[in-house]
Structure 1
Amino acid sequence: MHPTLRVPPMAGAGPTPGRPVTISGRTLDADTVVGAHSHEWGQLTYAGHGMMRVSAERSSWIVPPQRAIWIAPGVLHEVVTLEEAYLCPLRIHAAREPFNGEKCRVVEVSPLLRELIAALEPADGELPEARAALLGELILDELARAPTRPIRVPLPQDKRLKALCEALIEAPGAPQTLEHWAREVGASERTLARLFEKELGMRFGQWRQQVRLAHAAPMIARGMPLSRVAEELGYASQSAFTAMFRKTFGSPPSSFFARQPP
């Protein structure tokens, strides 16, 4: 993917002690970048529809509408839309952080949380302050109970490793070995293997698997057949992909996504 449009962060009122959660939404075209920025408040980065990639804390997450990412106050982050998306981040007062100082956390958006978020942004104008405050409290309560759904892709700083990682994020099904990539980026295979362990805390094969899982999530959420998902991500068969998914998450894709809203 090659983003073509850069836009500023969302405008709108910040949260207050009396109104701890605020929201404003906008539709963004595919390949739009909301450049790196931070806030004095916390943010639940959420899209009502469409896929996005969120990068923060040297990690990247691919996020379908069934998930959202908590970004703590002061954390630098960037959002890239992978397709047309309705981005509607929730601003949460710094004193009301729901996750005890965690900088980032991926959460599942339950049907109730989704409806509460929609109610906070009415189509017919401003909410009364009392109702907005009440909805904010309900959102915070539901958010604190939300299960995590982590598919995290750590990102490197070394330029050679970064070039390799960016290429695989662009084409997660690429079958080339670490030896091949070493020639492409001008480093020895041993050097790259050492950098994967040092900077990313995992081996090349483990990191590539996380990238493939990150890409698989929105494909499955959109209803793509598992056989096609497996093919596009470089697996020899659907059963091989399902076995990998089960090993990582403890359940096959059909069960993992069963609780997700359509």
Structure 2
Amino acid sequence: MAISIVTHTQFNWNCDFPTPARPVTMSGRNLQADDTLLPHSHPWGQVTYALEGVMRVTANNSSWIVPPLRAIWIAPDVEHAITVLENARLRPLCVHADRSPFAGTECQVLEVSDLLRELIVALEQHDQHEQSAREALLGELILDELARSATRPIRVPLPEDKRLKALCAALIAEPGAEHTLKDWAAQVGASERTLARLFERELGMGFGQWRQQVRLAHAAPMIANGTPLLVVAQELGYTSQSAFSAMFKKTFGCSPSAFFADQ
């Protein structure tokens, strides 16, 4: 399938910029798998969220895979890009910089509560170019709920070195690949020792830990969509469902089924 480039202007076709009097607005568009929103930034914050579908968000030298039970907070002026992995109903919230629910420029992975989802759906029903008292109340409730949202440590840091970039891009595209670091070294034109050193220096972790983060990121939307754990484990390169579940529990402190039980 050919990749379709969606410009920032096209994406915000029905969005008014947030203001102090109207701190939360919504932009929205239905996009197809492989549509790409090129790197851009804006002076307001953004809660990147899709009512349906899965997307990959890249910002601050990191990447996140985002299913409907998750959202990404992107601070004002932070450059970011979006790639749609499954047909998506994108409904990002634009938040005035003065009302940012999180301090700093770090992106945050948010759990989307039932209440937050319903508030977003309710906000979508309003004419996005017309203010109303009800819209103002919804905006304030959304800001309050965002600040209360639980965050999750699902983050895939990205490198600068071109050899490491090639390796990481290949693994993100195919997280179940079983190549060793030595195998990758032969493909990207660097020694195994050099790649190991680059992982620690640029990404702050070893190859195995980074690959585990990638697999976790891909696992979230698969589990959320009801894919059996055995299938998830097989597609992500684990020898068994129990091996995958053990890794998941070590990272999050609970089993995959418990983690998603209340979603």
Whether TM exceeds 0.5 here: the answer is yes
The share of aligned pairs that are identical, in percent, is: 68
Amino acid of the structure 2 residue aligned with 1:7: V
Specify the alignment match of 2:102 in structure 1: 99
Measure how far apart 1:3 and its partner are: 6.2
Structure 2 counterpart of 1:167, from 150, 153, 170: 170
* Residue pairs, 1:17-32, within 5 angstroms: 17-32=20-35
Distance in structure 1 (CA, Å) of the matches to 2:2 and 2:197: 31
Q: 1:76 to 1:133 in 2, by over 3 A?
A: same
Specify the alignment match of 2:4 in structure 1: 5
Aligned length: 259
Specify the alignment match of 1:222 in structure 2: 225
Deviations 1:42-92 (A, max 9, x none): 000000100000000000000000010000000000000001000111000
Measure how far apart 1:102 and its partner are: 3.8
Deviations 1:165-217 (A, max 9, x none): 11111111111100111111110100000000000000000000000001110
**Contact 1:69–1:104 (Cα < 8 Å) also in 2:** yes
Distance in structure 2 (CA, Å) of the matches to 1:141 and 1:128: 19
Specify the alignment match of 1:151 in structure 2: 154
Structure 2 residue ranges without an equivalent (≥5): none
> Is 1:234 matched up with 2:233?
no
Amino acid of the structure 1 residue aligned with 2:240: S
TM-score, normalising length: structure 2? 0.96
Measure how far apart 1:24 and its partner are: 2.2
* Residue pairs, 1:1-262, within 5 angstroms: 4-9=3-8, 10-11=11-12, 12-122=15-125, 128-260=131-263
- Following TM superposition, where does structure 1 have runs of at least 4 consecutive aligned residues deviating by more than 3 angstroms? 123-128
Measure how far apart 1:124 and its partner are: 7.3
Q: State the SS of the aligned residue for 2:16.
A: coil
Comparing 10-19 with 110-119, which one deviates more in the overlay? 10-19
**Contact 1:3–1:33 (Cα < 8 Å) also in 2:** no
Distance in structure 2 (CA, Å) of the matches to 1:124 and 1:29: 24
**Contact 2:25–2:128 (Cα < 8 Å) also in 1:** no
Measure how far apart 1:126 and its partner are: 6.1
Measure how far apart 1:149 and its partner are: 1.8
Amino acid of the structure 1 residue aligned with 2:198: L
Structure 1 residue ranges without an equivalent (≥5): none
**Contact 2:16–2:128 (Cα < 8 Å) also in 1:** no
Measure how far apart 1:8 and its partner are: 1.2
Comparing 118-127 with 53-62, which one deviates more in the overlay? 118-127
Measure how far apart 1:103 and its partner are: 2.7
**Contact 2:154–2:216 (Cα < 8 Å) also in 1:** yes
Comparing 21-30 with 118-127, which one deviates more in the overlay? 118-127
Amino acid of the structure 1 residue aligned with 2:6: V
Distance in structure 2 (CA, Å) of the matches to 1:128 and 1:193: 54
**Contact 2:156–2:214 (Cα < 8 Å) also in 1:** yes
TM-score, normalising length: structure 1? 0.96
Distance in structure 2 (CA, Å) of the matches to 1:46 and 1:235: 29
